[in-house]
Structure 1
Amino acid sequence: MTTNFYGRLPNLTRRSLMAGTAALGGTLLVPAMARAQAPQPRTGGTLRVVMPYNPASLDPIAGRNNPDFNALLMLYDALISFDPKTLELQPMLATSWEFADPTTLVVKLREGVEFHDGEPFNADAVVFHIDRCRNYEKSNVKSDLTVVEKCEATGPYEVTFKLKFPDASLPATLADRAGCIVSPASVKAAEGGNVDRNPVGTGPFKFVEWQDNTLIKLVRNTNYWGDAPYLDAIEARIINEHNTAVRAVTAGEADIALNMSAQQMAVAKRDPNVVAEATPSMIYYSAFLNYGKGSPLADVRVRQAMNWALDRPVLNQVLWGGLGGGNCSMFPSGFWANDPETENYYTLDVDRAKSLLKEAGFANGIEIETHTWADQAAVQRQEVVSAQLAEAGIRLKVTPSQPAQAMQFFLNEKKGHMLLSPTGGNPDPATAYDRHFAATAYRNAAKLELPGYRELADASLNTFDFAARQQVLYKMQRFVLENALHLPQFTSAGIIVRSPKVHNFDFSLLQRPRFHKVWLEA
């Protein structure tokens, strides 16, 4: 019998998310799938997509920014999928998965699937991929699989994961980057195993070309194992400037623009020839902090002062048009792992922030070296956040750059004290915490864990009972907030602008769209 851990959880529905957002002064969101008497699907056509971010890599295990998934899920299937509205786990390349015991996960694989290069998908391919995730020099998912002692083929279409300790979140991990299976033959043929720019998966579309910062082209996978894609091809243009991206849709030069902000939604709603939609999202805006030795953020009082200096409801209203949520949790209001008692742990208190800075030896204020993304929306966020922090004497010295470069500077080269960035989009909340605050986490620039974190993290992974696990995650939320391990600002909404001829697009709660069921009206 298949064990689907999410099957035991209350559904995170759009209704519950919208109710939570409205409780924080948000605006009712428009469901992306709501439309009256939609015409019947048709096959054919090239979908012209506009997206503001150039992927860091088209190798799923080498990138780390969530917008990479705009392209990744065109090319790759994961072992396990998820319902875009509830995050309930679903079969994909795996037909079933079951914990034989708390440290043994058995995964049955789909037969008759081929990679884009014609090579067979089977247990050996999965074992090769998991080993690569754990050992490849450029892999950014090593920390996601630290629980794995061994992955072995226990049949032509069966793999068994032997774990170092129980981990209830592993199936969700296999719905993420680590589960997006790359052709072993393509890796072996590539110099140094680098397939960043030569992606070969089993997904509904096949790679044609990538013109860096300009265009990605794909064509239909005519040998796709699942329902055949409707589209003949996809051309994804990279346009960093959001207003220009929307103008491409309104001018009829593009069919859909992804990852837009509230400002573009407001502009697009004035045009009767396009559709602007906002849907609930697990993405939130925060700042990764380097609280390692030698950093001013090593002092918890400085981190707490920064959190007390922010007016989150105002950030949500000014920067997101009230469409998101202005709390300091990593999750939206109404989500099962979000403790309502602590989601507003920090509220605006400038005097308290100043007092904490004074206690920490910064009575005259402090300067924080900050990295941020360089696009228009990111610059605006940085300016508003900077202005609020300045009221408490916290000055940001900002270096803007493209997302991949900003991550490189802060997380790899250890430059600066803070990185302002969107984050989130993890199928499992325990994974969300560990990807940010574990000592091995890519986003943890300090590469250290505070005392007490590991015990809570392990308990959140080792506990399979829903009610007990929820209470552990509530404790984790309080721990992260009390220790001010990051600087959360607001939860977002997924915003798109599209032609009314585009049908069946769903951004999903994780802002990770799959395009195989999207179709174009004639």
Structure 2
Amino acid sequence: MEEQNVDEVAPRLTRRKFLAVGAGSVGALGVASVADAGLASAAAASTLRVGWTTPPDVMNPFTFTTTASNEILWLIYDTLMEYDLQLNPEPSLAATQTRSADGKTFTYQLRSGVTWHDGQPFSANDVKYTFEVMAKNNLGQAAWSLADFQSVMVVNPHKVIVHYKLPQAFDPAMAIPIVPAHIWSKMKPSKILSYSNPNPVGTGPYKFKKWVTGQYLQVDRNPKWWGSAPAVKSIIWNQYENSDVMVQSLASGQLDILTEVPPVLWNGLKGKANVKPVEMESFSFHHIGINVSKNPKSKGNPLLRDRTIRQALGYALDRSQLVQLALAGHGIPASVQLPPSFGKWQEQIPASQQINNNPAKAKRILDAAGYKVGSNGVRADKHGNPLSFRLIAIATTDEDVLAGQIFVKAAQAVGIKLTLSTLDNTTLGNVVYNTNAPNWDIFIWGWDSGTPDPDYLLSVDLTSQIGNNNDVFYSNPTYDSLYAKQATTINPVQRTALVHEMQKIFYDDAAYLIMWYQSKLQAYRTDTWKGWVPTRGGMIYNFTRDNYLKITPK
């Protein structure tokens, strides 16, 4: 049973990037619990032990917000199509997929004999329910991909045809976890939003076993999964309160792999016996976000709506310095929304045109706009309103806090006062996403892409995403129009040109000052499991789950 569209109560749907707690936090936080005694000493021949500092939030595939939850849910639930280790599409619940010549119709031939974890048979009706409830109610991480959804037709229990109003450059089936209709259809959308899903039931290679909040979460191999049985019988994600203890646990043999390692600690793993640190490209960036809300109830400083001030803040920054000091060199100075891992999709901004490391130009454009320096060294507009803004960052993300401190000094040098304060990640998220009356000026945070296709990251700052992913309340009709056009352009050359144009527009508007594209730093033991394949985005904690499924005991 369904109710009317619930956009007004839909949660923000983010794939926020929560970096591991830095080494500087050692001693400030308590020692982590590593599962219970029995689990911590589980034989490596059957159990994969993963360490992380960023726990999941919920097991609801429609409402989760963290990458950690996504990591687990994508092993419990299947999509129709998925990514292999080269991040190319491969079949999942759909044995085959065909696309019409006009790009508006996708036909999926489903696997037969698939069952849900509770023993109920999987069928095309589950696919129909999932697509419809997500599209009609703007539910789930992948709702953005269903903007042009028209209908889904069940041909027979093992065949579905999905129709879209416009051509689709990206196949939404890559991003939509299929849920069991016999469980979820009993709930109204408003109930789905509040449901914690304490016992998730999927068709995936692993079944939910146990979650001890603040300690660990365990999944066990699904003996009836439709694919080849993975060698790993159980996966345990152990939660740590600081990264130093986590890294020590890897070195001592209590863990097999880490989802992320802070740069300084990663450097310290080089040369450790039976430990392999790996550096890979990521699909992530960290940015300075500026409140450009035009909502009359916004309590953000309205001076930041002036692009000149935003660009001046960008010119004040030295992104190379940020990479060296905050990331110990494990990253690349950033510009546009799409990191280099996106390849041809990334717009290349010539160095001479970048809004970066030019304090003299920052001063010139502020002078030209009439922002004069006062006796206290802080500029003001013609009405005497000072260029003084609040800056917030997540207290436990050392990289961001250090970047904030550097940013404060850089802004001061051009006559802009920033006051830095830190919050826990939940509070910062609630403050930033207070759509009705945003009470903040500038933040430091980050994004993970939801897919290796540019569509997701480009969608974040659409006008239609204000209230969902759009964290700075950016609105530009030209940008919105170009997004809609690229999303329905099948010709790759034409689409690439549109994607590049979008990035340039957003870059120049400077609602984001993207600081860096950080490397994905991971590490694993070489004496427990073999077959780990380094991949753009990470061996784990990535779009692909194949490393979990293909490694074998040492």
| TM-score, normalization by structure 1 | 0.83
Give the match's secondary structure for 2:49.
Answer: strand
Matches within 5 A, 1:373-388: 374-388=396-410
- Over 3 Å counting, the alpha-carbon distance change for 1:281 and 1:288 in structure 2 is same
Contact 2:247 2:265 in 1 (8 A): yes
Whole-angstrom distance in 1 between the partners of 2:238 and 2:484: 42
- Over 3 Å counting, the alpha-carbon distance change for 1:275 and 1:448 in structure 2 is closer
Whole-angstrom distance in 2 between the partners of 1:486 and 1:205: 38
Q: Structure 2: which 5+ residue stretches go unaligned?
A: 1-42, 372-378, 381-385
- Over 3 Å counting, the alpha-carbon distance change for 1:269 and 1:323 in structure 2 is same
Contact 2:327 2:399 in 1 (8 A): no
Partner of 2:180: 183
1:339 aligns with 2:347: yes
Contact 1:287 1:421 in 2 (8 A): yes
Return the letter of the residue paired with 1:516.
Answer: L
Q: CA deviation at 1:55?
A: 1.4
1:267 aligns with 2:268: yes
Give the match's secondary structure for 1:230.
Answer: coil
Whole-angstrom distance in 2 between the partners of 1:289 and 1:108: 46
Contact 1:175 1:427 in 2 (8 A): no
Q: Of 476, 491, 503, which residue of structure 1 is paired with 2:530?
A: 503
Contact 1:80 1:92 in 2 (8 A): yes
Give the match's secondary structure for 1:228.
Answer: coil
- Over 3 Å counting, the alpha-carbon distance change for 1:355 and 1:120 in structure 2 is farther
Whole-angstrom distance in 2 between the partners of 1:436 and 1:429: 13
Partner of 2:292: 291
Return the letter of the residue paired with 1:298.
Answer: R
1:401 aligns with 2:424: yes
Give the match's secondary structure for 2:331.
Answer: coil
Partner of 2:314: 307
Give the match's secondary structure for 1:488.
Answer: strand
Q: CA deviation at 1:406?
A: 3.0
Whole-angstrom distance in 2 between the partners of 1:162 and 1:238: 42
Partner of 1:352: 361
Contact 1:61 1:139 in 2 (8 A): yes
Partner of 1:88: 88
Q: CA deviation at 1:266?
A: 0.6
Partner of 1:174: 173
Return the letter of the residue paired with 2:551.
Answer: V
Return the letter of the residue paired with 1:480.
Answer: F
Return the letter of the residue paired with 1:400.
Answer: L
Q: CA deviation at 1:481?
A: 0.7
Contact 2:124 2:156 in 1 (8 A): yes
Contact 1:144 1:435 in 2 (8 A): no
- Over 3 Å counting, the alpha-carbon distance change for 1:287 and 1:133 in structure 2 is farther
Partner of 2:202: 201
Whole-angstrom distance in 2 between the partners of 1:409 and 1:507: 37
Q: What is the aligned length?
A: 474
Whole-angstrom distance in 2 between the partners of 1:43 and 1:154: 45
Q: CA deviation at 1:483?
A: 1.0
- Over 3 Å counting, the alpha-carbon distance change for 1:220 and 1:460 in structure 2 is same
Whole-angstrom distance in 1 between the partners of 2:536 and 2:364: 39
Return the letter of the residue paired with 2:490.
Answer: F
Matches within 5 A, 1:112-127: 112-127=113-128
Partner of 2:323: 316
Whole-angstrom distance in 2 between the partners of 1:507 and 1:380: 29
Q: CA deviation at 1:292?
A: 0.8
Contact 1:357 1:365 in 2 (8 A): no
Give the match's secondary structure for 1:452.
Answer: helix
| TM-score, normalization by structure 2 | 0.78
Partner of 1:428: 453
Partner of 1:8: none
Return the letter of the residue paired with 1:481.
Answer: Y
- Over 3 Å counting, the alpha-carbon distance change for 1:468 and 1:430 in structure 2 is same
Contact 2:130 2:181 in 1 (8 A): yes
Give the match's secondary structure for 1:151.
Answer: strand
Q: CA deviation at 1:209?
A: 1.5
- Over 3 Å counting, the alpha-carbon distance change for 1:397 and 1:321 in structure 2 is closer
Q: CA deviation at 1:63?
A: 2.0
1:368 aligns with 2:390: yes
Partner of 1:439: 464
Q: CA deviation at 1:257?
A: 1.4
Give the match's secondary structure for 1:436.
Answer: coil
Judge which range, 309-318 or 191-200, deviates more: 191-200
Return the letter of the residue paired with 1:395.
Answer: L
- Over 3 Å counting, the alpha-carbon distance change for 1:472 and 1:120 in structure 2 is same
1:439-464, Cα deviation, whole Å (9 max, x unpaired): 22522135552131122112211211
Return the letter of the residue paired with 2:90.
Answer: Q
Give the match's secondary structure for 2:469.
Answer: coil
Whole-angstrom distance in 2 between the partners of 1:399 and 1:290: 17
Partner of 1:494: 520
Return the letter of the residue paired with 2:173.
Answer: L
1:520 aligns with 2:520: no
Give the match's secondary structure for 1:249.
Answer: helix
Return the letter of the residue paired with 1:215.
Answer: Y
- Over 3 Å counting, the alpha-carbon distance change for 1:318 and 1:83 in structure 2 is farther
Whole-angstrom distance in 2 between the partners of 1:360 and 1:63: 46
Overall identity of the aligned pairs, in %: 21
Judge which range, 225-234 or 508-517, deviates more: 508-517
1:76 aligns with 2:77: yes
- Over 3 Å counting, the alpha-carbon distance change for 1:383 and 1:152 in structure 2 is farther
Q: CA deviation at 1:490?
A: 1.0
1:193-213, Cα deviation, whole Å (9 max, x unpaired): 324433222221111122223
- Over 3 Å counting, the alpha-carbon distance change for 1:452 and 1:507 in structure 2 is same
1:411-462, Cα deviation, whole Å (9 max, x unpaired): 2464423442221323211332012334225221355521311221122112
Cα RMSD, aligned residues only: 2.7
Return the letter of the residue paired with 1:408.
Answer: N
- Over 3 Å counting, the alpha-carbon distance change for 1:160 and 1:505 in structure 2 is same
Partner of 1:14: none
Whole-angstrom distance in 1 between the partners of 2:362 and 2:475: 24
Partner of 1:98: 98
Whole-angstrom distance in 1 between the partners of 2:280 and 2:481: 35
Partner of 2:11: none
- Over 3 Å counting, the alpha-carbon distance change for 1:249 and 1:218 in structure 2 is same
